[in-house]
Structure formats: structure tokens, C-alpha cells
């Protein structure tokens, strides 16, 4: 061992001890004849000091040191004259008796401090230096603890962690697969799993009863901001359960994580909100319930008063933004521009300001009396001093746009505090989604998601309107407006599965080709089962109070799927291509 | 929940309770008017009984049941008249009050019993049924516990589990990479990691101090028996440590696993055996020390007596096989044939039988006196009743062949009891291996393995003989003759690394191309570090007392790398190939 102690553990009680530390030089300060070195490792920072008694050798060594040099320091623990209460070792320092350079370091391309001066690309390229910084070390530690506590909890309630393969079969469903050419089977490919979904269902057929896995998943998608081609799921499945058994079990896990990691207690059950309510009240299937500002439909109230935009609208909805009655014309114009951007896609924005008990101002004042405006504002839940914002148009599209505006106003008003946690289950999702273009239904989740038992009549109806109303036994776990997990009860009955394929317009041959092994497995005694998966990267980021998942992944890819540290992907040698019986063609040759 | 209890938990104290169970029909027996059903789930088997009081409905349902049907049973717990002490629920049975078929099952293609009648291919194809059998459930559970206890122990001594990426850079070193074409970077490929080796070294540079990961690794090798293209490692690395710090840490982990999983105590430190001793005494770098039968060199004793084979041999070695002096001519001929097979590759086999105090018989009796034969036998450690087996030839090759024979004799004599555990560290491996064909040195382990500090002079010598004698700071963990883990102290000093590349004949350009990102990282303050990795699949199999790792992997590949359950690999659609800018060529076109 190169050390007797870490840089984070010495305290006032250790004064007088002779110790050896090893770590990285954080900074060096000279004060007259004294030299101070902050020595850093994963555990903390300890101050080394070469005082008047230090040997010439030590002082010579110190004069050659630079930032990030790796050194070994021998010395005795002494009480500091000027203590530093910001670090845990701040009451002591090490009076140097010896110092050895274990490794030199070139000057790092950015500062290794909590707030660094490095740009994103540079930090990605030198990820091993970025990872030395406090915020990333804390992120990696949080992730470690999340993983261990997840496993501990699930093991304690009878789940077995079972590894499923990474080289699996390509199925042309869902997102695009990453594929792996097979040298031993030329012309054939493995796929990397988009999730262990089918494998975990096989494990239920195999009687494993309670399965989990912290599993790598892969999707070859064009990367949107903050998506990764490889990501990690807490993947789970249970047998002989109904929806609330699953929700209760994993609510237990989530509460365990909140308690052990953030020391937060949630004594009440999490709210369960039907999808329809989420869309009506929040314009989103992942509502952020840290703040109110709920949406209110005012369609009936506003029609027939001569305002054509509202008269022709399928839906008119309003939110009451607290304390913003004083918004200037300029601010309101800016907001209107904001909602007109393609990302929101609204046509316009109507406002009512409740300036005081008597004064109501509105952009649609000429169509509505003050009383009418007041009563609209009241319906939107507005009080004196509030700003009512109103959107109109096709119902679904407008609700989503108004929900987006709600989130924006929440951000602007500081209502989305990352240290507040508002967990929520969204339930009763539609089973099917009608696609106008292809004039057919698609599965909202996947074709193995079960209809709610209470909707079984409608599921067997021939009418499109009935089928549209069938809800799935599916659920999402939402934290602070972010979808962190989701799952469903699966179909285990072959008649219902057959009906599902029929509704989706999937013929027997197609079903066999795509899902043959699973359908076959289901013939041999499949238990009722269901499960869910949590996005671990996202879960960690939320627990850490951060928006981006990248800091919670040791070596993330950039937004063109490149690992800047390893410089992957890269060309491979011709002999490798030959062994795989593969040739690259230019896009033109395809 | 479809049940109030599992099939493994009801006991005599529960008699009188009304319960609901769910599970699979293991078997049905009729005895007059009584029907018995063994109901099985992951937790056990419980007997259901429909007696004279059972309703006609129940009896009707029972008459439609088949093996592996999934049922839900309502009943009251009763004491059995004839108890079954072989199962934990054997004192009770459930008197049926209701029975519901949750799912039917086709007749399984093999019996779901501990000893099944299914062949290997059939069981691979129907893996989800094979996984229902007791031995596989126990194997999966053992693996689950091994994984959790490994994590628990390593976390408790300060290791952080950090996930490294699966889509990495292809490096033309070591085994063959599986590659993944990048759609977003046409013509470029990711590789799947053969191990997280370079990534974990980057994490040490990043200051993570103690890292572990239970990580999937991938090697596109022609599969020998019991190798898998994807396998799992317990992968670990530590900073500021020397060899014995690492060995002590992981010996702690191994002892923890032995204690918690098998309830075995190892109070003494595991033996550390130098590689040279292992080769001399056991003819193997992974000696099985559950039994003696050590090899003894007798080269000097046997030369010059007119037996040409020995006179010209570089090495002559012997083992004493206990109690086998009575081997017949036929048995000895068979053994000789056995060692002549290409897998062993010996030229022949000489024997001496110590039949009693006075009678010594030998196949080389005409060259050696009885006294000489006795003294040879004595050197081999033989006692009366033993059979001495002797091989000769080139030293290394002959030692390995004799070591292989030793293992075979251990098997034949039942000395390799899978319930006995003999752990061992093999240390002081050669750093370099001379390749006659290319007339250059190769790294035995990998080019980042450090020479032993005590061999540094020889490491800088220009003489081939000196370099051949340099030992590496490397170590393997051996259990019962199987290599379960291995690792090394890495080079952290750039001068030593440069010398290593020089010795290996790797130029600067080549080194940069192959290991550029790691060499670069090492410029910014790499700490002294080292680590090791354990093969989890193998570790589990040994703990389970089995030879094959396949039962410890939920969905293993067969020996041409095919997943028989999922039917992977498979052809992919042309549109996928086009998106990847790839074309398959026939071997002839290459």
C-alpha cells in the first residue's frame, strides 16, 4: 500500500500520528518560507505543509511539482493554526517529512475544479480528467449507491437478478436495432437488445416469478438531446400479479431509494392519475405536479360571444399564472412568440390580467364583458394579481401546447425546484393508437400489453370508437415531470393475444416471424405476469438534481454517437471485414 | 395478487387456514375417488387434494388438467395423513374448495423433473421449459446470490461499481472483436469490449481508487467446449496498491463468498505458488491441489543407463499413482494410448509397479536394476502398492503432458471431489514469451502488465536470456484446477512503458494507434494501480459443483454461437443493411 490513510480521513484526534498519504496535487501555495500543497484523492483533500523544518530535498521536490502530479507524502499530523471549516480535514495538516513523486502530469487542458473552464468537447475528449472533478465523482457515487440499493431492496423482496444475453435476435419492431455480424454464420446478424422485454417474459414462462436486472439497452436512434445509444434500465417482471401489486412493489423500491439516498420520507401512497386527467389538467402524460397552475377547459364558457377563434375551436383552455398580472405588453408579446415557435406550435395566446378586485384587462376585452372575463378567470382558478393565459384549437394539440406553456411558466417562476420531489403514477393509458395515414391501430406500448379487464367488451367490439376507448393495464412512473419508468400487465391468454394481433392487423405468419419464440413459449403454461423498467441514468440525474444524464454515465457518447475519449466508432481492418464476409458500400451504391 | 401464499411456504402451523395458491401442475394422481395434484412454483411444491367433499366442478376441472397447466387453487390447509419428509411442505396438503385454470399447456417436449429425458438441443430450443427444472433454478439462484454478495462485499470495502460502455473501439489485439456497424458514421464500427481493461485503467487515472463492475465481455473466438461468446466478469481495479494488497483484498471477497454461500470457513491465507513451482510440481499453471500425486523430475537419476529415450530427453518426470500397482497390461496399454492422443501428445509412457516391499516391475526393467527402479519410485514419492508413471521429452511439453495425466489419474481415482475446495494463487508469471517463429517477444498477459520490481535490472538487459527470466507482477486465482481469476499490477511509469513497447518491438506509431488514448491518459498523472477479473460463470459453476458453465447462464449460446431459443443470429432486412451501408459478400468474392 502506498498510503496509511486516504486524503479524506484524518481529523484532530489524529494529531501527532505519522502518516503516509498519496494522491494528486490540487494546488500549491508559497507563503514566505512555507509551502502548502492541497493533496486530493477520491476521499477528500488534505493540506500538506513544508515548514522551516522541512529538508532541502523536500523543498527541491516541491519546486518541481505541478498540478495533478501524483505524489506520496510522509509526515506527521498537526493541528492547523488557521482552520478550514469547508473541508472535513480542515482542522489538521500534514507536516512533511518526506515527499516522492509517483508520476508527473502534463498541464491539464482545463482546471480540475468543481467549476471548470473546460468546454464540452474538450471535457469529453479528456473524460478521465473531467471525471476527477467533484460533481462527476459525486454523480458516479450516487449512481453506485442507487444501483446497490436497488439490488438490495429487490433482493430483499424475493427478486432474483438474472442476466439476459446481449447478443440477441433482431426484431423489426420499435426502434432501430444495432446489429452485430456473425463470423461463424456468414450473412447473419445478432442484434443488441433494445430492452430485455421478451427475455424477461420467457423467464416468467420459466417460472422465475420475480426477476430483475440492471441491464444495458441499445437503440440506434438519431440522437435527440440527452439520449444515449446505450443506456441502462432497472428491468423487472413479476408473475401472478395484477396492476396494483406491481405498483405497490415498486413504490416500495422507490421509497427505499428516497429514504436511503436522499433521506426523504414518503409516508403516503403516491398519487395515481389516469392518463385522461393528466392530459386534461396538465396537457402531458408526464405531469410535473410540483406546482399547480392546472389547465381548465373553458370551451363552453367562451363560445358564442362573437370571438371567431374561440367559436370555431374544438377546445379552449386556460391556466392562471400566479402573480403575473403585471406582465407588460412586451413580455406578453414575447410569450406569444414563444408559444408560436414550432416546438410548441400554437397559433396565438390570449390573456386576462386580474390587476385588482375591479380591474380586469384582456387581449379579448372587446368580445367579453368584465364580468365574463372575471368568470373565465375564476374558472381557471385565478386570484387577484394573476395572469390568465388561454389557448384554443384542436383538443389534443392545444392541450399539449398549453401544458408546454405551463411548464415554461413554472420554470420562469422558479416553481420547479430540483430539491423538491413529486412522484406520481400515470395509469389507464389507451391501449391502441389510431394512425390516420395507414388507417390502422398501433399498440401504444407493445403488442403484449394487456387491455384492462374492465374494458374487455370494448376490446372485442368491431367499432373503432369502442377500440379507441380501451385502456391498457399500463402505468408510468413520473418524477418531477419526467418519465422515469413504465410498464404493463402482459397478455398471457392466447385468445386475447390473437385478438390483439387481429386488431393490429398482424397476420399469423407475420406474428410468427416477429414473435414466434415468445408465442410458442406461451403455449406451454404462461402465468399471468407484468412488469416495468426504470431508466437508471435518468433516475440518477433526477436524484442528483440535474437535467442532463451525461454526468451520470462514466463514458457517454456525444450527440452523433461518438465516444470522444476512446475515439469510437472507427474503421476496422480489411481482414476483419473479410472474416465477416462484409463490404462497405457508399450511400450511392446502395 | 393471484395467491395468498407461495407453493413453498405452508407448514403444519398453517393448518386450518384458507389459502389461495397459484403455480404449475407438476403431476396428478388419482386414488379411487381422491385426486392429488402437485402444484409447483419457484418456491416449492404443495400437494392439493380433491376429496369426497370436493364439488363436481372441481373434479371436472381436474379431469381437464395436464402437466404444466397454470392453475389457481383455493382451499384449506390440512395435515396430511401420509407425510412426505422430502419436501418442506410435506406435512400439509390443501383441501380444494375451488380451482381455476389460468392457462393451458401443451405437452412439454421433455419431462420437467430434476432428471429430465430431454436431449441437449431440445432443451436449448425450449430453454424456458428447461429453466423450470430444479437444477437450473438452483443454478440461477446461486448466480443471483453470488452477484449480490460480491457487490455487497466490494461495496463494503470502498469499491464503487461503475458501468463502462459496451459500444467501444476495436483494437486489433488479443482475441477477435465482435463489431457493430455505425449507421451514423458509415464505414465505421464500434467493437464490443473483450473486457473493460482499458476503461478501468482510465478510471484509475480519473482517481476512482477502487472500481468494480460485473460486466459482460465479448470474444468472437471459435468456441471450444464450454466457452461462450459473451461471458461475465467480476472486473476490479485499485490504485496506490502493490500485489499483495490486491491479493489480500480479493482473498477477502472470495472467503466472504465461501462463507455466505457455502458456509465454508477458510481461516488460513490461501497458498501462493510461483508459476515455476506450479509447472514443475503439477505441469500446469492452474494446479488442482485437492490431491497430491505431485510430479518429480528424475532426469539426472535415469540418464546413462542405456535407455536411449531417457538419455536423449531434456526432461524426465514421474508421478506416483496411489494404490494402482495392480494395473493390468491392458489397463497400462490403454493409459499409454490415452497419453498418445493429440490432446496430450506424449510419445509414450513408462511405468514402475511397486507390488510389494520386494517386487518391483517395470516396462524398463531391462535397463534398470530393481534397486534403481526402487530409488526412482522413491523419488516420485511412491509407496508400496503404487504405480509410478514416467514421461520424457522436451521439458515444457512433457511437464504439461504429465500434468494432464496427473489430472486424469485424479479423475479416475475419484480424487477430484467437487464438494472439496482448494483455492490457490499462482504468482510470478513470466512477463514475456519468446516466439520462435517471429523471433520476438510477446506479452504473456498484456503490454500494460508491470515487471516485478525485483526483476527491473533484467528487464533493461539486452540479453534474451535475461528478459526471459523477468517475472510479471501478475497473479491468477485457481480453484480446483480451474483458473477463476487473474490480474496484474499495471505499468504506470511512462519510461517503463516505453521500455516495454521496445522489448515487444512495438514502435511509437503503432503504440499510438493501438493504445493512444490510454498512453495519453497516462501523461496526466496516472497513479500506481492494478487489478484483476474473475470469470463469474465459471465461479458459479465451481460453487455449484458443476463442470459446465451453461447451466449457470440463463440463455447460453451453443457451440456455433447460436441462441437456440431466440434463433439468433438471423438474416436482417435489406433496408437495415442499406442504412448501415453494408453488403454481404460470399466468401469467394472477398
**pLDDT of B365-419, one tens digit each?**
999 999 999 999 999 999 999 999 999 999 999 999 999 999 999 999 999 999 9
Q: Given a cut of 90, is residue A87 above it in pLDDT?
A: yes
In a domain, B280, yes or no: no
Write down the pLDDT at residue B339. 96
Residues of A in contact with B182 (CB under 8 A): 561, 569
Which residue is closest to A231 within chain B, CA to CA? B165
Nearest CA in chain B to A144: B161
B349 and B248 housed in the same domain: no
Could you report the per-residue pLDDT of A528-543, keeping only the tens digit for each? 999 999 999 999 999 9
pLDDT for residue A512 is more than 90: no
Residue of A nearest to B588 (CA): A581
Of A2, A199, A493, the CB nearest to B240: A2
- pLDDT of A174 > 80? The answer is no
> What DSSP state is assigned to residue A550?
G
Whether residue B152 is found in the same domain as residue B267: yes
Q: Which of B22, B188, B585 sits opposite A569 (nearest CB)?
A: B188
Tell me the β-bridge partners of A414: none
Average pLDDT over every residue of B154-161? 98
Shared-domain flag, residues B126 and B264? yes
Q: How many Cβ atoms are within 10 Å of B300's Cβ, its own excluded?
A: 9
Tell me the mean pLDDT in the region B141-168.
Answer: 98
Angle at A59 between CA A54 and CA A61, to 5 degrees: 130
Q: Is B460 an 8 Å CB contact of chain A?
A: no
Which chain A residues contact residue B190 at CB under 8 A? 568-569
Q: Name the residue of chain A whose CA is nearest to B583's CA.
A: A583
Would the pLDDT of B588 be above 90?
no
Check whether residue A158 and residue A216 sit in a common domain: yes
Q: How confident is the model at residue B153 (pLDDT cuts 50, 70, 90)?
A: very high
Which of B144, B165, B582 minimises the CB distance to A162? B144
**A567/B587 Cβ within 8 A:** no
Q: Are B138 and B42 in contact (CB under 8 A)?
A: no
Average pLDDT over residues A161-175: 87
Q: Per-residue pLDDT averaged across B446-452, rounded?
A: 92
**Nearest-neighbour CA in chain A from B551: distance (Å):** 13
Identify whether B457 is part of a domain: no
Residue of B nearest to A245 (CA): B1
CA distance A230 to chain B (A): 8
Residue A237 and residue A160 share a domain: yes
Quick check: A590 contacting B, CB < 8 Å? yes
Q: A129 and B167: CB-CB below 8 Å?
A: no
CB contact under 8 A, B147 and A161: yes
Find chain B residues with C-beta within 8 A of A106's C-beta.
523-524
Distance of CA A227 to the CA centre of its chain: 9
pLDDT at A587: 67
| Residue B361 belongs to domain with CATH number | 3.30.1360.30
Whether pLDDT at A588 is above 70? no
Residue B154: CATH number of its domain: 3.30.930.10
C-alpha distances out from residue B343 to A152, A566, B44, B157, B405, Å: 46, 40, 44, 43, 11
CA distances from B138 to A160, B218, B546 (A): 11, 26, 12
Helix (H) / strand (E) element for A483: namely strand A482-489
The reply to whether residue A108 touches residue B523, judged by beta carbons under 8 angstroms, is: no
Is B181–A177 a contact, with Cβ atoms under 8 angstroms apart?
no
Q: Which of B81, B103, B125 is where one domain is finished?
A: B103
Interface contact flag, A128 B206, Cβ < 8 Å = yes
**Which backbone phi and psi does A370 adopt, to 5 degrees?**
-55, -40
**Domain span at residue B539?**
116-271+421-429+472-492+527-590
Give yes or no for A129 touching B (CB within 8 A): yes
CATH of the domain at A35: 2.40.50.140
| Residue B417: φ, ψ to 5° | -70, 120
Asked whether residue A509 is assigned to any structural domain, the reply reads no
A186 CB neighbour count, 10 Å cutoff: 16
Percent of chain A beyond pLDDT 70?
Answer: 99
Identify the pLDDT of residue B173. 63
380451482: which residue's cell? Answer: B99
Exposure string over B134-171, b if 16+ CB within 10 A, otherwise e:
eebbebbebbbbbbbbbbbbbbeeebbbbbbbbbbbbb
Count how many domains chain A has: 3
Residues B87 and B141 in one domain: no
Q: Is A514 at the interface with chain B, CB within 8 A?
A: no
Answer for the pair B377, B324: CB distance below 8 angstroms, yes or no. Answer: no
Q: Is the pLDDT of residue B245 over 80?
A: yes
The verdict on A92 and A220 lying in the same domain is no
- For residue A460, being part of any structural domain is answered with no
Same domain for A259 and A301: no
pLDDT at B350 over 80: yes
B542 assigned to some structural domain: yes
Q: Does A552 touch chain B (CB under 8 A)?
A: no
Q: A97 and chain B: CB distance < 8 Å anywhere?
A: no
**pLDDT band for position B172 (50/70/90)?**
low
Distance from CA of A253 to the nearest CA of B (A): 17
Q: Is the pLDDT of residue A315 over 80?
A: yes
Q: Do A167 and B563 touch (CB under 8 A)?
A: yes
The answer to whether residue B501 sits within a structural domain is no
Q: How far is B20 from chain A (nearest CA, A)?
A: 11
How far out from the chain centre does Cα B519 lie?
Answer: 32
Among B residues 382-411, those touching chain A with beta carbons less than 8 Å apart: none
Q: Given its phi and psi angles, is residue B155 left (phi above 0), alpha (psi -120 to 50 degrees) or beta?
A: alpha
Cβ of B128 and A179 within 8 Å? Answer: no
When scoring B569, B580, B584, B585 by the number of chain A Cβ atoms within 10 A, the one with the most, hence best to mutate, is B569
The pLDDT of residue B268: 96
Collect all residues with Cβ–Cβ distance below 8 Å to B433 and sequence separation of at least 6: B441, B442, B443, B444
Q: What's the whole-number mean pLDDT along residues A170-196?
A: 89
A482 with A363, same domain: the answer is no
Cell triple for A444: 401504444
B250 contacts chain A (CB < 8 A)? no
Contact A590 B578 (CB under 8 A): yes
Report how many Cβ contacts below 8 Å link chain A to chain B: 376
Peptide bond into B38 cis (omega under 30): no
pLDDT in tens, A31-83: 988 999 999 999 999 999 998 888 999 999 999 999 999 999 999 999 999 99
pLDDT of B17: 98
Chain B interface, mutation test: which of A525, A528, A564, A588, most B Cβ atoms within 10 Å?
A525
Please identify which residue in the block is written with the cell numbers 358564442.
A304
Q: Is B127 on the interface with A (CB under 8 A)?
A: yes
- Give residue for cell 455449484: B544
Q: How far apart are CA A126 and CA A520, in angstroms?
A: 49
pLDDT digits (tens, 9 = 90+) for A385-440: 999 999 999 999 999 999 999 999 999 999 999 999 999 999 999 999 999 898 99
**B104 and A163: CB-CB below 8 Å?**
no
| Contact between chains at A165 and B563 (C-beta distance less than 8 A) | yes
B131 and A192 within 8 Å at the Cβ level: the answer is no
Distance from CA of B320 to the nearest CA of A (A): 43
Minimal C-alpha gap between B44 and chain A (Å) = 11
| pLDDT at A585 (0 to 100) | 86
Confidence of residue A255 (pLDDT cuts 50, 70, 90): very high
B552 touches chain A (CB under 8 A): no
Give the relative orientation of helices B536-543 and B134-156 as an angle to the nearest 10 degrees: 120
Residue at B437 is within a domain: no
Closest-approach residue (CA) in chain B for A68: B525
Q: What pLDDT is stored for residue B93 in this prediction?
A: 97
At A72 the three-state DSSP class reads strand
B569: cis peptide before it, omega within 30°? yes
pLDDT at residue number A446? 84
Quick: pLDDT tens for A108-166.
Answer: 999 999 999 999 999 999 999 999 999 999 999 999 999 999 999 999 999 999 999 99
Q: Taking a C-beta distance cutoff of 8 angstroms, is the pair B556, B550 a contact?
A: yes
Of B70, B140, B186, the CB nearest to A160: B140
Please answer yes or no on whether B203 and A554 come within 8 Å at the CB atom. Answer: yes
Amino acid B53: pLDDT: 83
Q: How far apart are CA A111 and CA B578, in angstroms?
A: 44
Predicted confidence band of residue B574 (pLDDT cuts 50, 70, 90): confident
In a shared domain, residues B476 and B551: yes
> Do residues B132 and B223 share a domain?
yes
Residue A445 has a pLDDT of 83
Same structural domain, A144 and A256: yes
State the Cα–Cα distance between residues A469 and A461, nearest whole angstrom. Answer: 11
Q: What does the pLDDT average to over A300-319?
A: 95
Identify which of A574-578, B112-116, B174-178 has the greatest average pLDDT: B112-116
Residue A233: inside a domain:
yes
Is the pLDDT at B590 greater than 60, yes or no?
Answer: no
Interface subset of A 210-249, CB within 8 angstroms of B:
210, 216, 218, 220, 222, 229-230, 232, 240-242, 245
Q: How many residues does chain A have?
A: 590
Least confident range of B47-56, B244-253, B317-326: B47-56
Q: Residue B170 has what pLDDT? A: 82
Amino acid at each position: 500500500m502506498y498510503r496509511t490513510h486516504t486524503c479524506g480521513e484524518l481529523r484532530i484526534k489524529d494529531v501527532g500520528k505519522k502518516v503516509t498519504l498519496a494522491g494528486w496535487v490540487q494546488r500549491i501555495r508559497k507563503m514566505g518560507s512555507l509551502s502548502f500543497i492541497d493533496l486530493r484523492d477520491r476521499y477528500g483533500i488534505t493540506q500538506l505543509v513544508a515548514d522551516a523544518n522541512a529538508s532541502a530535498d523536500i523543498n527541491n521536490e516541491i519546486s518541481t511539482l505541478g498540478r495533478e502530479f501524483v505524489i506520496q507524502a510522509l509526515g506527521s499530523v498537526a493541528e492547523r493554526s488557521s482552520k478550514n471549516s469547508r473541508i472535513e480535514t480542515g482542522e489538521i495538516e500534514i507536516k512533511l517529512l518526506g515527499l516522492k513523486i509517483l508520476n508527473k502530469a502534463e498541464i491539464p487542458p482545463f482546471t480540475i475544479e468543481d467549476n471548470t473552464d473546460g468546454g464540452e468537447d474538450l471535457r469529453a475528449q479528456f473524460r478521465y480528467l473531467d471525471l476527477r472533478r467533484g460533481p462527476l465523482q459525486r454523480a458516479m457515487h450516487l449512481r453506485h449507491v442507487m444501483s446497490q440499493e436497488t439490488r438490495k431492496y429487490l433482493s430483499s423482496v424475493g427478486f432474483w437478478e438474472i442476466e439476459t444475453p446481449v447478443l440477441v435476435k433482431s426484431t423489426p419492431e420499435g426502434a432501430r436495432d444495432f446489429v452485430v455480424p456473425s463470423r461463424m454464420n456468414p450473412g447473419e446478424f445478432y442484434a443488441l437488445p433494445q430492452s430485455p422485454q421478451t427475455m424477461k417474459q420467457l423467464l416468467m414462462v420459466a417460472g422465475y416469478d420475480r426477476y430483475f436486472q440492471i441491464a444495458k439497452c441499445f437503440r440506434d436512434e438519431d440522437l435527440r438531446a440527452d439520449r444515449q445509444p446505450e443506456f441502462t434500465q432497472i428491468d423487472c417482471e413479476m408473475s401472478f400479479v395484477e396492476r396494483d401489486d406491481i405498483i405497490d412493489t415498486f413504490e416500495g423500491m422507490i421509497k427505499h431509494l428516497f429514504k436511503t439516498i436522499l433521506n426523504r420520507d414518503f409516508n403516503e401512497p403516491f398519487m395515481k392519475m389516469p392518463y385522461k386527467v393528466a392530459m386534461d389538467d396538465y396537457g402531458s402524460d408526464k405531469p410535473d405536479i410540483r406546482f399547480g397552475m392546472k389547465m381548465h377547459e373553458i370551451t363552453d364558457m367562451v363560445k358564442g360571444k362573437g370571438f371567431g377563434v374561440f367559436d370555431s375551436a374544438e377546445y379552449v383552455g386556460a391556466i392562471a399564472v400566479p402573480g403575473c398580472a403585471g406582465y407588460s405588453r412586451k413580455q406578453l408579446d414575447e410569450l406569444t412568440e414563444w408559444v408560436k415557435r414550432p416546438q410548441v406550435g400554437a397559433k396565438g395566446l390570449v390573456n386576462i390580467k386580474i390587476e385588482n378586485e375591479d380591474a380586469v384587462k384582456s387581449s379579448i376585452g372587446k368580445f367579453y364583458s368584465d364580468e365574463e372575463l372575471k368568470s373565465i378567470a375564476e374558472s381557471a382558478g385565478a386570484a387577484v394579481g394573476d395572469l390568465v393565459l388561454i389557448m384554443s384549437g384542436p383538443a389534443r394539440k392545444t392541450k399539449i401546447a398549453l401544458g408546454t406553456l405551463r411548464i415554461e411558466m413554472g420554470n420562469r417562476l422558479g416553481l420547479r425546484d430540483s430539491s423538491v420531489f413529486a412522484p406520481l403514477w400515470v395509469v389507464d393509458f389507451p391501449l391502441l393508437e389510431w394512425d390516420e395515414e395507414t388507417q390502422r391501430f398501433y399498440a401504444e406500448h407493445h403488442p403484449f400489453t394487456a387491455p384492462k379487464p374492465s374494458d374487455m367488451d370494448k376490446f372485442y367490439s368491431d367499432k373503432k370508437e369502442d377500440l379507441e376507448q380501451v385502456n391498457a393495464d399500463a402505468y408510468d412512473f413520473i418524477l418531477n415531470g419526467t418519465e422515469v419508468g413504465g410498464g404493463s400487465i402482459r397478455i398471457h391468454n392466447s385468445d386475447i393475444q390473437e385478438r390483439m394481433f387481429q386488431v393490429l392487423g398482424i397476420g399469423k405468419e407475420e406474428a410468427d416471424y416477429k414473435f414466434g419464440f415468445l408465442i410458442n413459449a406461451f403455449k406451454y403454461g404462461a402465468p399471468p405476469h407484468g412488469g416495468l423498467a426504470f431508466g437508471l441514468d435518468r433516475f440518477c440525474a433526477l436524484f442528483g438534481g440535474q437535467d442532463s444524464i451525461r454526468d451520470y454515465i462514466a463514458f457517454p457518447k456525444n450527440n452523433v454517437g461518438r465516444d470522444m475519449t476512446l475515439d469510437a466508432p472507427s474503421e476496422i481492418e480489411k481482414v476483419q471485414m473479410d472474416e465477416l464476409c462484409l463490404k462497405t458500400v457508399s450511400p450511392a451504391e446502395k
